[in-house]
Amino acid sequence: MSLIPSPNDLLAILPILILSGGGILLLGMQFFFQGSEFRIIRFTSGLILVFAFVSLIASHFFLPGVGNYFGGHYEIGNLGFWFSSLYLIMAFGTILASPRVLEQHNMEFPEFYPLLLFSVVGMFLMTSGTDTVTIFVGLELMSVSLYVLVGMARSDVFSLEASLKYFLLGSFSTGFFLLGMAFLFGGSGTTHLQESLKPLSIAGFESNFTKIGLLLLLTGIAFKIALFPYHSWTPDAYEGALTPVTGFMATASKSASMGLLMVVFSKLPSPVANGEWAWIMGILAFLSMTYGNFVALQQSSLKRVLAYSSIAHAGYVVAGVSLGCEKEAIFYLIVYSFMSLGAFALLSFLEEGDKHVTYESIAGLAKTRPWTSLALFLFFLSLAGIPPLGGFWAKLFLFQRIADNGNAIGRLLLIGGIANSALALYYYVKVGISAYMSSTDGEISQVSPPKTSYGVVFVSAFCLMAVVFGWYFLQPKDLTSLRFNKSAELRK
C-alpha cells in the first residue's frame, strides 16, 4: 500500500474531504459572524452539502466502476452511493427545518451545523469502509456528534437528561462493538471485514472465536438501529432533542446503522448468512415490530409515537435484510426517511417553546391550519402503509420478497409484518381523527398560526411529493444496478 494517495483515492473520498473541511471552516466562521449574521453560517453549511453531493455524483460516475481505494479500506459502489445520497439529503432538510426551532430556544450556536456535517462524515465511513477500524471511527464520529446535538438545548433539563442517557448507553454499546472487533481479529488475524468473517465457513476454534465476535458486533449495531431490546434510549433521546435533530436521527442515523448491518450481512459467507444468523436477526426484527407498535398505542406525544414506531419500522427493514432482500430494504429506508423527515419538520413548526405536540393539542387543527393538517395526516397515512402513498408500496415490495423466501422465518416475519401494520393503523389514523373530527379545539388549534417558515414549507412539500409520487420514479427493480458482494448475490 502506497503512503501517497492516488488521484482516484482522493476522488473517492472527495465528499468526505469537503464535509470535513467545511465543518472546520464553519467552526472558524463563528469568530467573524455573530448575531443576525448567523444565517451566513447556515447558508454556508447548506452550500457545503450541495458541493458534497455534486462530488459524490462525480466520484460515482468518473471512477472506474466499483472498487476499493486507500489500500482496500474504502469502497466505492452503488450501495454506498444510495446511502450517502440519503445522508446528504436528510442533512440538508434538517438545516432548512432548524432555524425557527433554534430561534425559539435562543440557540443560535454555531456548533450546530459543523456537528451535523461531522456526523455525516461518520455515516459515509460506516457504509463505505471495508475495514473494521475505519467503520468504528465512522460509528464514533457519528455517535459523538449526535450525543452533543441531542443535548444542544442546554437550558432544557429533559434535553440534557436525554443526551446523558444516550451517551451512557451508547458508550456501553460501543464496548460491545469494540469487543466484537477484537474477537474477529483474534479469529482471523486481520481487521478487514470480509476477511475477518471467512473463518465462519470452516469448523474449528477460529470459527467459534469469529461467531462470538460477530454476535458482539451485531449487538453494537442493533443498539444504533434501536432494535428491541436495545431500544431504551430511543424515546427519551427523540423527545428530549430538538425536533429537527430528532428527524435527523430517525432518518440519516438510522439509515447509516441499517446500511452498516447490510454491509456486514453482504460480507457473510452465503451458507452462514442463510443459517442461524438469519434466525437471530429475524427474531429481533419480529420482536421490534411487535414491541414498537404495542407501546406506540399508549403514547400521547406525537414525538414519542414516532419514536416507538421507528422501532417497529426498524423491525420491518431488518426482516428484509435478514432474508437477503437488500434492494427492497433500501427502498423501504428511502421512503421511510422522507416520511419521517416531513413529519418531524411539521411537528417542529407546530411546537411552541417546550410544549410537545399531542393528539389533544392538535384537535380541530384542520379548521385553522388546513394545509398543515393535510400534509401531516398524509405523512402519517404513508407511515401506516395506506395506498397509494409511498409507504404502502414500500411495504408491499418488501412483504412480497419476504413471502417469496418461503422458509419458516420468512413466514413468521410475513405474518408479523402484516399483523403489526394493521395494528399500527390505530395510532397513525388517530392523527387525522384529532385534526379533522374532534368536536373541541386543542391548544395548538386555538393559537394563531405562527409566521411561515419557508424552510419547513420546502422540506415538507419536497418530502410530500417524494412520498406521493416518488415510488413511480424509483422502485426496487430500479436498484438492480446495486453491486453487492458476491455472497449477497448468491442469497437472492
CA distance linking residue 338 with residue 121, whole number of Å: 20
Residue 73 has pLDDT above 80, yes or no: no
More confident residue, 453 or 480: 453
- Is residue 370 domain-resident? yes
- Is residue 2 domain-resident? no
Residue 490 has pLDDT above 50, yes or no: no
Work out the percent of the chain whose per-residue pLDDT is above 90: 12
For the stretch 297-334, pLDDT in tens is: 888 888 889 989 999 999 999 988 888 888 888 889 98
pLDDT at 480: 53
As a whole number, mean pLDDT of residues 441-470 equals 69
CA distance linking residue 42 with residue 30, whole number of Å: 11
How many residues comprise the chain? 492
Q: Backbone dihedral region of 9: left (phi > 0), alpha (psi from -120 to 50 degrees) or beta? A: alpha
Residue 482 has pLDDT above 50, yes or no: no
Q: Which residues lie below 8 Å from residue 17, measured CB to CB, with a gap of 6+?
A: 10
Place of cell 466520484: 59
CA distance linking residue 487 with residue 114, whole number of Å: 38
| pLDDT tier at 88, thresholds 50, 70, 90 | very high
Mean pLDDT check: name the lowest of 113-127, 131-145, 202-216.
202-216
For the stretch 371-423, pLDDT in tens is: 888 888 888 998 988 888 888 888 888 888 888 877 888 888 888 889 998 99
| pLDDT tier at 117, thresholds 50, 70, 90 | very high
- Is residue 297 domain-resident? yes
pLDDT at 121: 93
Work out the percent of the chain whose per-residue pLDDT is above 70: 86
pLDDT at 232: 81
User: How high is the mean pLDDT of the chain?
Assistant: 81
Q: Reduce the secondary structure of 175-234 to three states and give it as a string.
A: HHHHHHHHHHHHHHCCCEHHHHHHHHHCCCHHHHHHHHHHHHHHHHHHHHHCCCCCCCHH
- Is residue 191 domain-resident? yes
pLDDT at 106: 67
pLDDT at 70: 73
pLDDT at 263: 87
For the stretch 30-66, pLDDT in tens is: 777 665 567 788 888 889 999 999 988 888 777 766 6
As a whole number, mean pLDDT of residues 275-280 equals 80
pLDDT at 107: 65
- Is residue 439 domain-resident? yes
Place of cell 414491541: 291
Mean pLDDT check: name the lowest of 60-64, 287-291, 486-490.
486-490
Compute and round to an integer the Cα radius of gyration of the chain: 22
Residue 342 has pLDDT above 50, yes or no: yes
- Is residue 189 domain-resident? yes
CA distance linking residue 259 with residue 483, whole number of Å: 14
- Is residue 318 domain-resident? yes
For the stretch 89-106, pLDDT in tens is: 999 999 888 887 777 766
CA distance linking residue 417 with residue 354, whole number of Å: 35
Task: Give the total number of structural domains in the chain.
Answer: 1
As a whole number, mean pLDDT of residues 255-265 equals 89
H-assigned helices in 30-77: 38-62
Residue 453 has pLDDT above 70, yes or no: no
- Is residue 406 domain-resident? yes
By 3-state DSSP, what share of the chain in percent is helix, strand and coil, each rounded to 5?
Answer: 75, 5, 20
CA distance linking residue 75 with residue 129, whole number of Å: 6
Which domain range does residue 399 map to? 7-490
